[in-house]
Structure 1
């Protein structure tokens, strides 16, 4: 059994919330602990938005329940009518996180059969204490930027491995190893993108979207790379026709890096295009089709590099 940091923070925030509520002699003090449990989020911003949303939701729940209980009475039917209005209104204003916890607080009004000022203050304090401790404990979040950089290094290395493999298998029947490598890399990039989103959500002052956009860019690239691997199976031409392309793939693998903007590679791609244009024309249909696949592969590779080039222009680390 593994006890994580969030579990520890949730438990401590709940304990302190109930202790403080008891110390203030609040009615239904354990509710503060429950609110704290429900308010500890995965990120700083998630906890802040959840807390503010629940405070706003409390005001709405109080107003609706007051009308229902005053008109129908303090009973289950009135509570049900309250839910019929409160739930859709919460959904409309994107406050669904507050439905359960605020409905619990509304039952306090029903049991006390009162909306006196002290009781209203009591419910507000319960909510504020639970949300407050949750926010306080979520101010500390482990900095995962080091892990994101390690993820980037692993991704770059995987791309280099796949590109080198493509160069070796060019004009030879490929094995499934490259396709499997692309699939594994795609899964790893998705996981890294989730970590990047969490990292961004834990930044108060700066909307640091670099890592999230980086993983998104690499995710697009690996999908394109997977399509290029499938194209390899149909390329069967004279060896002299793939020499320049093999050199290009090996050069890309050797220089593939986060900071490489792809400018030099795009220049080399244009040179390979010029070489192909200077070659003699295909002599038969089969040769034409093979040349077409080779040309399609080169076009896809150019698009693959252009994705990184555009990313380098649009994003400043």
Structure 2
């Protein structure tokens, strides 16, 4: 059985919250531990936003429960009326993270049958301790940069292999290997994007969205790759017509990288496009259709590279 870091932090936060609440002689001290468990988010920013939502929800809940219990008494009917009003208001004010925890604290008012200043302070201290311990334990988060760089390397290699396979697959009907490769790339890109978002959420002040933007860029490129693969299945023409394109795809497979801004590749694509324009006109419908697909393939290819060029401009000259 493997015990992960999140599990350890949850246990420690719960333990410390209950011990501190007990040390302060708060009633319902175990509630602080439960709040700590429920407030320990996956990221620092998530934990903070959840904690703030619960504090505002507790303020709202205390006011509403004072009214409903005063109207119907400290019983199930008063609590039911409280929920009837409380839940829609938390939704309206985007405080839904506080519904469960705050409702539990409201039951303390019901059980004690009063709203003394001491009891209200008790509930806010339970919330403060629980949320505070979760924030304290979440100050440490593992650095994901190495994992993100490995994901980048995997994706770069995946794209290079796709371009080499496209070069090898020209004028062949079956693209099964390419379809499997694009599916693997899609999963790798989504994994990287998820990790990049977590990485960003674990920084309080820094707003460097480089990794997130990188994976979004590759995701956009992958959609174009899928279009190119679909076109490859329909291209069946003379070998001399695809020779330059085959070389271009092979060159791209060797030079494509995170650092390459793609400008040279764009020039090479323009050269191949121009060479097609200079070739003799198609002599029949089939040749015409294949020539049109080649032009469409190269235009999609160009769009693919332009996405990377734009990303490189933002990376080095903006953001």
Q: TM-score interval w.r.t. the shorter chain?
A: over 0.9
Answer yes or no: is the 8 Å Cα contact 2:175–2:229 preserved in 1.
Answer: no
1:273 Cα deviation (Å)? 1.1
Aligned to 1:308: 308
Q: Tell me, what secondary structure is at the counterpart of 1:315?
A: helix
Q: Which digits, 9 at most, give the CA deviation of each residue in 1:102-126, with x for residues without a partner? A: 0110010011111101101100110
Aligned to 1:136: 136
1:47-66 matches, cutoff 5 A: 47-66=47-66
Answer yes or no: is the 8 Å Cα contact 1:32–1:127 preserved in 2.
Answer: yes
Q: Tell me, what secondary structure is at the counterpart of 2:163?
A: helix
Q: Which digits, 9 at most, give the CA deviation of each residue in 1:159-188, with x for residues without a partner? A: 000100101111223330111100111011
Answer yes or no: is the 8 Å Cα contact 2:171–2:236 preserved in 1.
Answer: yes
Aligned counterparts of 2:71 and 2:158: Cα–Cα separation in 1: 67
1:2 Cα deviation (Å)? 2.0
Aligned counterparts of 1:71 and 1:174: Cα–Cα separation in 2: 74
1:243 Cα deviation (Å)? 1.3
Aligned counterparts of 1:264 and 1:123: Cα–Cα separation in 2: 65
Aligned counterparts of 1:107 and 1:174: Cα–Cα separation in 2: 66
1:5 Cα deviation (Å)? 0.6
Answer yes or no: is the 8 Å Cα contact 1:174–1:232 preserved in 2.
Answer: no
Aligned counterparts of 2:21 and 2:172: Cα–Cα separation in 1: 73
Aligned to 1:179: 179
Q: Which digits, 9 at most, give the CA deviation of each residue in 1:229-252, with x for residues without a partner? A: 121111111111111111111111
Aligned to 2:154: 154
Aligned to 1:163: 163
1:141 Cα deviation (Å)? 0.2
Q: Which digits, 9 at most, give the CA deviation of each residue in 1:52-108, with x for residues without a partner? A: 111111100000000111122111111001001110110111111110110110010
1:263 Cα deviation (Å)? 0.8
1:125-274 matches, cutoff 5 A: 125-274=125-274
Answer yes or no: is the 8 Å Cα contact 2:261–2:312 preserved in 1.
Answer: yes
1:28-43 matches, cutoff 5 A: 28-43=28-43
1:17 Cα deviation (Å)? 0.6
Aligned residues: 317
Q: Tell me, what secondary structure is at the counterpart of 2:38?
A: helix
Segments of structure 2 that go 5 or more residues without pairing to the other structure are none
| Alignment partner of 1:96 is 2:82 | no
Aligned to 1:75: 75
User: How high is the TM-score relative to the length of structure 1?
Assistant: 0.98
User: How high is the TM-score relative to the length of structure 2?
Assistant: 0.97
Aligned to 2:288: 288
Segments of structure 1 that go 5 or more residues without pairing to the other structure are none
Q: Which digits, 9 at most, give the CA deviation of each residue in 1:1-21, with x for residues without a partner? A: 221111110011101111111
Answer yes or no: is the 8 Å Cα contact 1:217–1:307 preserved in 2.
Answer: yes
1:294 Cα deviation (Å)? 1.2
Aligned counterparts of 1:116 and 1:234: Cα–Cα separation in 2: 78
